[in-house]
Amino acid sequence: MTNADAAKVEAVLDALLAEHDPTTEGYEEFRGHQFDAGLAWVQYPQGNGGLGVAPQLQQNVNRRLSEAGAPPMDLSQFFIALAAPTILTHGSDDVKQRFLRPMFTGEEKWCQLFSEPGAGSDFAGLGTKAIKDGDEWLINGQKVWNTLAHIADWGMLVARTDPQARKHRGMTYFALDMKAPGVDVRPLRQITGEAEFNEVYMTDVRVPDADRIGAEGEGWRAALTTLMNERTAIGGSGGGGNAPKPGSGPIAELVSAYTANADTLAPGVRDDVMALYVRSEVLRLTNQRAAQAAKSGNPGPEGSVGKAVGAILNQDISEAVLDVMGPAGQIDYDFTFRRPTIAALTGGTAGHAFLRARANTIEGGTTEIMKNILGEQVLGLPGEPRTDKDVPWIDVPRG
């Protein structure tokens, strides 16, 4: 990061705010101007929402826009953190021009279509088929655990295009129009009463080859970009891992609950709360260090640290909140079936947080898989035996 780059960003910011008032322009309109100015992701190339400067300078952009009254990103755009880096890294110039701007403005929302009933932790074992038909692909298959697919315009889809190739080599990555004929989104009701997760059925869905992201057969490489960014995003949001300052984030709820009930609690509870506070702060600092290490904008396997640790910590914190609240933590929760936006998933009662946290050790990669990644790719330990690694996907035994 150079002084010249910092001055360049400040000059562009000055010009943007001089010409466009975020307090009077609509959300999508202002974010469109922000993208065109190169202030969407400053580390991206010019023309793709960036200025080609150090990613750390985005913090200055976000701070100044917030001070000027610009609203924060609509939380229903959560998957922007996954789709945008994947498209930038693997998409053609036409794909970048087509998808990045409306994704950033919020005109088009995205979801992720990776897991299948028979291919969750073993993602490379997926069986959704994509058969080439002229300039299109014919898609048939089923995906599951698809967060917010019911409000998405586009899906990040990985499908099997060559069943004769090794399972990591025969996949291709597509942008799927979620409103296309043959796409059927069905809700999965959770313990909270919500149906943020879905299953998606695809029956003879036609996808133009122009909507392919990356080369044919290179879906595994593109998917890794998505997964690394997903784990960093989820890991940073759990247990205060992405909190801006000490004591903020989920741990603040526990401290507040303890303060309100301290007179009725056993002396040892204070030590328990303090231990969770320390774990939360360690995670926050670890995630900050990992973010600084991601100089290119795409994180490495270090993001799995935050995902693995944050998932368990968030569960421990949400459980501790109910413990210190006592009977009061068991009331005032609505289990009515509903199909929420992501904004509704970030608030609510302590009871909701406790129930929702059960998903943390599964979504975005199970904790067991995270441990494998950390052991093999970070610590350099020998990998687990994989007897099907060099076998054509069609010949891999399936139950």
> Regarding beta strands 197-208 and 129-133, do their DSSP bridges make them parallel or antiparallel, or are they unpaired?
unpaired
Q: Give, to the nearest 10 degrees, the angle between helix 3-19 and helix 58-67.
A: 30
* Parallel/antiparallel/unpaired status of strands 197-208 and 136-144: antiparallel
List, in order, residues 6 or more apart from 62 with CB less than 8 Å away. Answer: none
Two structure tokens written together for 305: 């640290």
What is the DSSP secondary structure assignment for residue 392, as one 8-state letter?
A: B
Q: Is 194 a catalytic residue?
A: no
Q: Are 150 and 156 in contact (CB under 8 A)?
A: no
Spatial separation of the C-alpha atoms in residues 373 and 307, rounded to whole Å = 11
Q: How far apart (Å, rounded) are the C-alpha atoms in residues 146 and 122?
A: 16
What are the structure tokens assigned to 292, written together?
A: 């600084």
Distance CA 198, CA 188 (A): 5
CB 314 within 8 A of CB 238: yes
Q: Which of 116, 199, 230, 302 is catalytic?
A: 230
What is the sign of the dihedral through the CA atoms of 101, 105, 108 and 109?
positive
Longest Cα–Cα distance in the chain = 72
Token pair of 360, please?
A: 């943390």
CA distance 127 to 138: 14
Across the strands, what pairs with 202? 141, 183
State whether the Cα torsion 316-362-228-156 is positive or negative: negative
Query: What residues act catalytically?
Result: 230
